[in-house]
């Protein structure tokens, strides 16, 4: 059975910390006793790398290319598991879920979407697709620590995805409809 996990993740960037008063900045290491670190921390190289990454992601076809590479990686992992005498289903495949719960969807979901936006039913459909057709076994919710979002994901979405995956796998156990389903059953 798939393992379902939830997690809160918040990131605070310090790239704007240079606007603080000089007295406060003297408290920050190496001059002061407070050690401050982060993924960017105002480092010009990290900021430049982030900007260039965003430019690359704006180009047409980048997300399709990433999806294809992810699919190739998944197939390679499954092949390596079989060659090592292991069941590919034993390989945990995690997906960091981002998005927002809303009352309506903006349109049909696509594999190139950067997040799931819509009502819980839409989330269930998308995550069921990710589990059955792409092979993810664990979903980690990456969201602000909002009680409504966490409760909705834990109490509504995760159990229904689990039910849908179990039902679809049971109904197709005699003959999987895709090669990916055959690997994840």
Query: Looking at residue 182, what is its pLDDT?
Result: 45
Q: What is the DSSP letter of 16?
A: T
Query: Looking at residue 71, what is its pLDDT?
Result: 83
If residue 117 lies in a helix (H) or strand (E), which one and from where to where? Answer: strand 116-118
Query: Looking at residue 177, what is its pLDDT?
Result: 47
Query: Looking at residue 124, what is its pLDDT?
Result: 95
Q: At 112, phi and psi to the nearest 5?
A: -90, 0
Query: Looking at residue 180, what is its pLDDT?
Result: 47
Domain range list for the chain: 39-184
Paired residues of 100 in beta bridges: 117
Q: What is the DSSP letter of 28?
A: B
Query: Looking at residue 35, what is its pLDDT?
Result: 60
Say how far apart CA 91 and CA 74 lie, in whole Å: 10
Paired residues of 34 in beta bridges: 28
Query: Looking at residue 37, what is its pLDDT?
Result: 62
Query: Looking at residue 89, what is its pLDDT?
Result: 78
- Indicate the burial class of 11 (C-beta count within 10 angstroms; 0-12, 13-18, 19 or more): exposed
Note down pLDDT in tens along the chain; length 185 residues: 333 333 333 333 344 444 446 666 677 777 777 666 666 566 788 888 888 988 888 887 887 887 788 889 889 988 999 999 998 878 888 889 888 999 988 777 776 677 899 999 999 999 999 898 888 889 999 888 788 999 999 999 999 999 999 999 898 875 544 444 444 44
Which residues, 6+ apart, have CB-to-CB distance to 50 below 8 Å?
40
Q: What is the DSSP letter of 18?
A: G
Query: Two tokens at 113?
Result: 């979407």
């Amino acid at each position: 059975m798939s393992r379902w996990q939830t997690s809160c993740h918040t990131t605070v960037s310090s790239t704007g910390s240079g606007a603080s008063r000089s007295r406060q900045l003297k408290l920050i290491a190496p001059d002061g006793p407070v050690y401050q670190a982060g993924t960017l921390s105002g480092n010009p190289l990290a900021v430049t790398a982030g900007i260039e990454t965003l430019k690359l992601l704006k180009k047409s076809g980048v997300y399709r290319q990433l999806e294809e590479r992810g699919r190739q990686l998944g197939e390679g992992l499954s092949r390596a598991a079989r060659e090592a005498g292991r069941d590919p289903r034993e390989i945990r495949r995690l997906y960091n879920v981002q998005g927002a719960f809303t009352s309506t969807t903006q349109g049909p979901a696509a594999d190139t979407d950067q997040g799931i936006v819509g009502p819980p039913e839409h989330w269930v459909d998308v995550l069921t697709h990710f589990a059955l057709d792409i092979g993810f076994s664990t979903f980690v919710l990456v969201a602000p620590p909002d009680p409504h979002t966490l409760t909705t994901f834990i109490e509504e979405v995760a159990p229904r995805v689990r039910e849908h995956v179990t039902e679809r796998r049971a109904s197709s156990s005699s003959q999987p409809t895709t090669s990916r389903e055959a690997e994840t059953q």
